[in-house]
């Protein structure tokens, strides 16, 4: 299990930073019960090891005028690896696409898109997404409201699994 490579202090550091990535190293060290210099070394090691990919602000999209959120389910004509990679590259270039996940089953990709309004999304949908090479079909679902949007992972589940396997 990947999480077992880290000791409990490393996992506590990750959990604390996931909850508040802006806290000072001194505050983080206090929360996890170690002094500041080794805490900073551990954070740097976690960053270099790829456990921490970056630090981000949680932006309220609606406050900035992005009123529309849509999930687009995309089916491709071909699922050959070069075609999948080409579609993924195209998704990375589209600003309205915020997440792109390849799925198994009837749908090849699900895209999370944001837009300031429906006409802007409709233009993207018709001019770019459905017109993209290899796209067979697109089904969209407009988000009415979000009941939960919690980034990261549930550290309590990881700790429970690790305690059972120890």
Q: What is the rounded CA–CA span in Å between residue 136 and residue 134?
A: 6
User: Does residue 5 surpass a pLDDT of 90?
Assistant: no
Compute the distance between CA of residue 51 and CA of residue 3 in angstroms, rounded to an integer. Answer: 10
- Domains assigned to the chain: 2-57 (1.10.10.10), 62-142 (3.30.70.920)
| pLDDT score of 51 | 96
Beta partners for 99?
A: 112
Please check the confidence at residue 150 and state whether its pLDDT lies above 80: yes
| Full-model pTM | 0.86
The pLDDT > 70 percentage for the chain reads 97
Beta-bridge partners for 24? none
Question: Which pLDDT tens digit goes with each residue over 72-121?
Answer: 999 999 999 999 999 999 999 999 999 999 999 999 999 999 999 999 99
Determine the pLDDT at residue 1.
41
Strands 97-102 and 109-115 turn out to be antiparallel
């Amino acid at each position: 299990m990947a999480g077992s490579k880290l000791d409990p202090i490393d996992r506590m550091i990750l959990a604390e930073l996931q909850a508040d990535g802006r806290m000072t190293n001194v505050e983080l060290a206090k929360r996890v019960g170690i002094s500041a210099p080794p805490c900073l070394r551990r954070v740097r090691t976690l960053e270099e090891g790829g456990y921490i990919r970056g630090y981000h602000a949680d932006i309220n999209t609606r406050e900035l005028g992005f009123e529309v959120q849509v999930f687009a389910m995309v089916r491709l004509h071909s699922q050959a690896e070069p075609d999948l990679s080409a579609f993924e590259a195209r998704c990375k270039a589209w600003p309205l696409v915020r997440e792109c996940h390849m799925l198994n089953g009837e749908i090849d990709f699900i895209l999370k898109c944001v837009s300031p309004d429906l006409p802007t999304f409709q233009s993207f949908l018709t001019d770019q997404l459905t017109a993209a090479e290899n796209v067979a079909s697109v089904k969209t679902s407009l988000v009415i409201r979000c009941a939960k949007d919690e980034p990261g992972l549930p550290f309590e589940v990881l700790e429970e699994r690790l305690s059972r396997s120890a």
